Structure 1
Amino acid sequence: MEIVRLSEQLPYVAPDRAVARQIAAPGNSRLTTHSIAHIIIPAGGEVKPHYHRACEEVYHVVSGGGRMKLDGKEAEISQGDTVVILPGERHSISAPPDRDLVMIVTCVPAWSAEDQCFD
């Protein structure tokens, strides 16, 4: 049995201040084809517009809320909402100024910096 403890995963703090910890991914588990991460976008933070060449990405909001932009459309999202993002779809997400946005993010194939393209 494999158990990956989130508390033991080193955080990656992105230039936009988002904090990511791998829940399970090829680098910290037996997974080979997908990744699951815990992401915190701090109050007032925004992930810059980007797209992925190959990966399908799913954002599931655990707490807080924010504003999702996906291929020219915008919507408010909140706890319990899930956003499906297909390869090539430009997207960004932001947290409101008064609270953090906490998400679980899955990627198939597994997330890689080489697959992520910023505008």
Structure 2
Amino acid sequence: MFIKDLQNCEEFVAGDNAILRELLHPDKEYVKLRYSLAHAVVKQGEISYRHKLKHSEVYYILEGKGMMYIDNESVEVRTGQAIYIPPNAIQCIKNIGHNDLKFLCIVDPAWRPEDEEVL
């Protein structure tokens, strides 16, 4: 059994300017997964930098309200929604709520620095 507590994950600012805590990554823990899982926070009134990943990604909104931008589309997102982001899509998310926007990031195959481009 493998359990990792969010509070024990090191917090850092990602290349897209979101505050991240990496929960699961097959290159960093002894877990047999293809994907990586991170917890992200975008502070009130802030927006992540435009970026794209070589592979697909899913955001699952845990708390808050945001405006999701994928390529030429934008839509308001809220708690309980999952957002599929296709490979190579230009993406960013803006916090339009009154509190922190918190969400999970699932990348398959697992996120690697060389697979992301910040624009």
TM-score of the two chains, using structure 1 as the length reference: 0.90
- Could you say which residue in structure 2 is the equivalent of 1:38? 39
- Could you say which residue in structure 2 is the equivalent of 1:52? 53
SS in 2 for 1:37: strand
Q: Which amino acid aligns with 1:24?
A: L
- Could you say which residue in structure 2 is the equivalent of 1:4? 4
Q: Map 1:16-31 to 2 at 5 A.
A: 17-26=17-26, 27-31=28-32
SS in 2 for 1:44: coil
Unpaired segments ≥5 residues, structure 2? none
Residues 12-64 of structure 1, C-alpha deviations (whole Å, 9 max, x = no match): 123665211111112134144210111111111111111112x2100010010
Q: CA RMSD in A?
A: 1.6
SS in 2 for 1:92: strand
SS in 2 for 1:114: helix
Residues 64-111 of structure 1, C-alpha deviations (whole Å, 9 max, x = no match): 011000110010001111110111111110102632110011000111
Aligned identity (percent) is 28
TM-score of the two chains, using structure 2 as the length reference: 0.90
Q: Which amino acid aligns with 2:67?
A: R
